[in-house]
């Protein structure tokens, strides 16, 4: 395990170098707020813990985790028997000022996790992400069904989704893509851009301000790395060298392998999570409720509390379809995603093998 780093000097290979934003204005945020600290985390620090060091996890490896604090990258010691898999990039932790040993992790505001292969346990991808950029391009990659799954994932994690439509420069009219994306979820921001030009920075600025944390998902080749480099601005060379390491996978494709927290222009942070590829809908009822907010809102008006909106008399959702206020397609998508969620959400076994169904809402 690594020794504690001296302030500001990266000691491990692969620990990103950080450039801290210079602040102007009359009311600058505290140093920790530059890293994404907020009242949500401050409120968790007990009176007896105020002497402890506050650190944010920057990368998670099999045998060690790296962190940052207000001075830059720092190593962090894990107590014996702790498992690095219990930590996610973006986590906030408290450490002992004398030993540098991790004391505890603070509760997460948001978390991306997926069921590990084999169905046991959860794999953590990223924590305390404010915004998920769901990246797709104005071409054959554009797939509303897949975007819905990413939206459910963002909703379930408690993170605000933004659809980023790249390669707008390659089509005559990006309008139809934009319209389709906007229709996926109520009040969904959709940004159309060319990931290779600096305009992208201005368009994404509302989500990349001081202390804000974003992450990107999307298929291979849609422009995620391009976007991260554009957002990082002139420092992108340093970042590419020290942060997101591009390697060839078994099929000879270039893939981004490092999973870490990088400073981006404007004072925000981006977590590179190339791992979120094999997405499926599981245990995400709340995420589905948000995706289909217009259906969720109508449900309390149905005569039966457990209405399936299929055949019941007095169904407010069916009435909305009949009046043309809700598309039958949307209702069908809702039904099939819920069915998929139900099928894929494991049913826990109770004493004597009795089935315990978790959180079954419909």
Closest CA to 87 of 118, 111, 115: 111
The token duo for 207 is 């989500």
Is 31 annotated among the ligand-binding residues? Answer: no
Q: Residue holding tokens 């060319």?
A: 194
CB of 264 to ligand GTP, least distance (A): 15
CB of 226 to ligand GTP, least distance (A): 3
Task: Give whichever of 159 and 194 is closer to ligand GTP, judged by the CB atom.
Answer: 194
Question: 115 contacts which partner out of ligand GTP, Zn ion, none, CB within 5 to 8 A by kind?
Answer: none
Q: HEC string of 199-234?
A: HHHHHHHHHCCCCCEEEEECCCCCCHHHHHHHHHHH
CB of 230 to ligand GTP, least distance (A): 9
Query: How far apart are the C-alpha atoms of 26 and 195, rounded to whole Å?
Result: 33
Phi, psi of 56 (to 5 degrees): -115, 135
Task: Give whichever of 80 and 252 is closer to ligand GTP, judged by the CB atom.
Answer: 252
Task: Give whichever of 170 and 327 is closer to ligand GTP, judged by the CB atom.
Answer: 170
Does 262 engage in binding with ligand GTP (CB under 6 A)? no
CB of 171 to ligand GTP, least distance (A): 10
Is 221 annotated among the ligand-binding residues? Answer: yes
Task: Give whichever of 186 and 253 is closer to ligand GTP, judged by the CB atom.
Answer: 253
The window from 51-59, 77-85, 192-200, 291-299 that contacts ligand GTP (CB under 6 A) reads: 192-200
Query: How far apart are the C-alpha atoms of 90 and 273, rounded to whole Å?
Result: 11
Which residues lie across from 136 on neighbouring strands? 165
Q: What is the SS3 assignment for 236?
A: helix
Four-CA torsion 309, 315, 317, 322, nearest 10 degrees: 110
The window from 46-54, 217-225, 312-320, 337-345 that contacts ligand GTP (CB under 6 A) reads: 217-225
CB of 249 to ligand GTP, least distance (A): 9
Which residues lie across from 53 on neighbouring strands? 95
Site map for ligand GTP, 225-254, x if CB under 6 A? xx----------------------------
Instruction: Give residues 294-333 in contact with Zn ion (rule: CB under 5 A).
Output: 302, 307, 309, 315, 317
Q: Which one among 38, 220, 235, 238 touches ligand GTP, defined by CB under 6 A?
A: 220
Is 89 annotated among the ligand-binding residues? Answer: no
Query: How far apart are the C-alpha atoms of 284 and 155, rounded to whole Å?
Result: 9
Task: Give whichever of 24 and 278 is closer to ligand GTP, judged by the CB atom.
Answer: 278
DSSP 306: T
- Per rule CB under 6 A, count of chain residues that contact ligand GTP: 18
Task: Give whichever of 205 and 344 is closer to ligand GTP, judged by the CB atom.
Answer: 205
Instruction: Give residues 65-124 in contact with Zn ion (rule: CB under 5 A).
Output: none
The answer to whether 5 and 11 are in contact (CB under 8 A) is: yes
Site map for Zn ion, 145-184, x if CB under 5 A? ----------------------------------------
Cα atoms found within 13 Å of the Cα of residue 137, Cβ hemisphere only? 18
Helices and strands counted in the chain (H then E): 11, 17
Query: How far apart are the C-alpha atoms of 67 and 288, rounded to whole Å?
Result: 34
Query: How far apart are the C-alpha atoms of 113 and 135, rounded to whole Å?
Result: 19
* β 131-137/160-166 pair status: parallel
- Closest residue to ligand GTP, judged by C-beta, is 223
The token duo for 305 is 């509390």
Name the site residues for Zn ion (rule: CB under 5 A): 302, 307, 309, 315, 317
Name the site residues for ligand GTP (rule: CB under 6 A): 166-167, 169-170, 194-196, 218, 220-226, 255-256, 274
The annotation places the binding site for Zn(2+) at 302, 307, 309, 315
């Amino acid at each position: 395990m690594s020794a504690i780093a001296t302030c500001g000097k990266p000691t491990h290979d692969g620990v990103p170098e950080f450039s801290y934003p210079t602040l102007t204005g009359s009311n600058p945020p505290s140093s920790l707020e530059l890293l994404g600290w907020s009242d949500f985390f401050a409120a968790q620090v007990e009176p007896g813990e105020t002497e402890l060091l506050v650190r944010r996890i920057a990368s998670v490896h099999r045998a060690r985790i790296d962190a940052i604090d207000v001075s830059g990258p720092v190593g962090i010691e894990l107590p014996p028997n702790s498992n690095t898999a219990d930590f996610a990039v973006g986590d906030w932790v408290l450490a002992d000022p004398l030993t540098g040993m991790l004391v505890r992790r603070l509760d997460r505001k948001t978390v991306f996790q997926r069921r590990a292969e084999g169905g046991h346990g959860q794999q953590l991808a990223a924590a305390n992400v404010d915004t998920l950029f769901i990246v797709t391009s104005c071409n054959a990659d554009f797939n509303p069904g897949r975007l819905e799954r990413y939206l459910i994932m963002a909703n379930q994690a408690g993170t605000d989704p933004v659809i980023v439509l790249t390669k707008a420069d390659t089509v005559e009219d990006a309008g139809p893509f934009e319209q389709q994306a906007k229709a996926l979820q109520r009040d969904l921001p959709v940004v159309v851009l060319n990931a290779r030009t600096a305009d992208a920075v201005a368009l994404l600025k509302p989500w990349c301000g001081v202390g804000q944390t974003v992450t990107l998902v999307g298929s291979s080749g849609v422009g995620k790395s391009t976007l991260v480099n554009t957002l990082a601005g002139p420092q992108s060379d340093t970042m590419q060298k020290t942060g997101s390491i591009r390697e060839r996978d078994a099929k000879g494709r270039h893939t981004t392998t490092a999973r870490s927290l990088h400073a981006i222009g404007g004072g925000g942070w981006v977590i590179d999570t190339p791992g979120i590829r094999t997405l499926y809908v599981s245990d995400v009822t709340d995420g589905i409720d948000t995706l289909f907010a217009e259906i969720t809102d109508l449900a309390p008006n149905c005569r039966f509390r457990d209405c399936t909106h299929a055949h019941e008399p007095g169904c407010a959702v069916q009435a909305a379809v009949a009046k043309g206020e809700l598309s039958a397609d949307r209702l069908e998508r809702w039904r099939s995603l819920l069915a998929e969620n139900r099928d894929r959400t494991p049913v826990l076994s109770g004493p004597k093998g009795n089935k315990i169904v978790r959180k079954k809402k419909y």
